[in-house]
């Protein structure tokens, strides 16, 4: 049974296929409006979410399918001590496909091994978030027209930010991509990502604490929030949370064709005054996320013979 746990579970050809399908869904929504009729998606979110859960649900409805979901982790049997394995075995009896978010790294893999239906990782702790990357990739394709030859700045909490880890893995497969990793010392990209992805593939990257110094070089600036829920103490969070705040003043140093991205939710790291700037892409990412999730659901369901 094919699941999506990690973005590298998809080949570059399959990513291309999904972006092409998502663009076709955007162009011809009616052609897809009944494709999942009679099918059910279950959303299991053991951590807070607005966009990811709702976009999965909207995606399934826009394909003519139905959705069942857990009201919250606290009101599910997880609160009684049920394991992820038992929960997904149960949910597989009701649903044709599962989208799951969990605070523990590796939980989605455990779910996929135990479910009788495809499982989509909607975020596992500070590890990865492949469907946000699909949203990011469609946005990059539509904004830049390519995945290759890009200077990509990633800024903020690069240690705990799972969207960053998945996006690096995805973009590292294309020619001529250079990463500029902008973070406080304490929140640098984990060494396993640098070693297993960047160094192994010989991808050029630079680490810095200075956003303004590198801003003029960037094609893409991907901002992230400091992940409060993954900190061991509140003091460190408070010290680091407002280290990078993108303002119109700072943006004067940036290129005219910069794309400003953010997986959202935003806390303080992008001034709302930037929302009206044509370079701001974060609400486009939200829209694109639903279409990529539609394409992904169709692909996994087709492969599962459903």
Assess 263 for contact with ligand NCD (CB under 6 A).
Answer: yes
**Residue 90 vs 268, nearer CB to ligand NCD:** 268
Tell me the two tokens of residue 216. Answer: 């003029």
Q: Which residues contact 24 (CB under 8 A, 6 or more apart)?
A: 31
| Whether 239 contacts 212, CB under 8 Å | no
- Residue identified by tokens 């399959």 is 14
Assess 132 for contact with ligand NCD (CB under 6 A).
Answer: yes
CA distances (Å), origin 164, targets 172, 244, 274: 12, 16, 21
**Residue 32 vs 260, nearer CB to ligand NCD:** 260
Nearest-approach distance from CB 285 to ligand NCD, in angstroms: 8
**Residue 94 vs 283, nearer CB to ligand NCD:** 283
| Whether 159 contacts 189, CB under 8 Å | yes
Nearest-approach distance from CB 176 to ligand NCD, in angstroms: 27
Tell me the two tokens of residue 13. Answer: 């050809």
Q: Report the site for ligand NCD in 184-243 (rule: CB under 6 A).
A: 224-225
Q: Which residues contact 52 (CB under 8 A, 6 or more apart)?
A: 45, 99, 101, 122, 123, 129, 131, 132, 289
Nearest-approach distance from CB 218 to ligand NCD, in angstroms: 20
Tell me how far apart the alpha carbons of residues 154 and 189 are, in angstroms, rounded to a whole number: 10
- Per CB under 6 A, the segment of 69-77, 79-87, 192-200, 262-270 that binds ligand NCD is 262-270
Q: Which residues are catalytic?
A: 51-52, 80, 101, 129
Q: Report the site for ligand NCD in 21-40 (rule: CB under 6 A).
A: none
- Residue identified by tokens 């663009």 is 23
Q: At what angle do helices 107-114 and 84-91 cross, to 10 degrees?
A: 50
What character string, x for contact with ligand NCD (CB under 6 A) and - otherwise, covers 41-70? ----------xx------------------
What character string, x for contact with ligand NCD (CB under 6 A) and - otherwise, covers 68-107? ----------------------------------------
The residues binding ligand NCD (CB under 6 A) are 51-52, 123, 129, 132, 162-163, 224-225, 263-265
């Amino acid at each position: 049974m094919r699941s999506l746990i990690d973005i590298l579970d998809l080949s570059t050809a399959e990513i291309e296929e999904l972006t092409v399908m998502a663009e076709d869904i955007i162009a011809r929504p009616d052609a897809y409006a009944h494709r999942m009729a009679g099918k059910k998606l279950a959303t299991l979110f053991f951590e807070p979410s607005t966009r990811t859960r709702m976009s999965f649900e909207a995606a399934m409805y826009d394909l003519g399918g139905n959705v069942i979901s857990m009201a919250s982790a606290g009101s599910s049997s997880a609160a009684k001590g049920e394991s992820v394995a038992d929960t997904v075995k149960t949910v597989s009896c009701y649903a044709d496909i599962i989208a799951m978010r969990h605070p523990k790294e590796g939980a989605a893999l455990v779910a996929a091994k135990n479910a009788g239906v495809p499982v989509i990782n909607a975020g596992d702790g500070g590890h990865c978030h492949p469907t946000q990357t699909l949203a990011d990739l469609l946005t990059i394709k539509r904004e830049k027209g390519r995945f290759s030859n890009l200077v990509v700045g990633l800024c903020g909490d690069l240690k705990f930010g799972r969207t960053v880890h998945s996006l690096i893995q995805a973009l590292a497969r294309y020619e001529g991509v250079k990463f500029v990793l902008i973070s406080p010392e304490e929140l640098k990209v984990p060494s396993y990502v640098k070693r297993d992805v960047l160094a192994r593939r010989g991808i050029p990257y630079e680490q810095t604490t200075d956003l303004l110094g590198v801003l003029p070089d960037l094609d893409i600036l991907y901002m992230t929030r400091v992940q409060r829920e993954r900190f061991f103490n509140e003091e460190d969070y408070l010290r680091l949370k407002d280290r990078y705040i993108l303002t119109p003043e700072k943006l004067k140093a940036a290129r005219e064709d910069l794309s400003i991205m953010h997986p959202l939710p935003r806390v303080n790291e992008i001034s709302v005054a930037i929302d009206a700037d044509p370079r701001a892409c974060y609400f486009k990412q939200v829209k694109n996320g639903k279409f990529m999730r539609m394409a992904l659901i169709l692909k996994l369901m087709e492969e599962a013979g459903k």
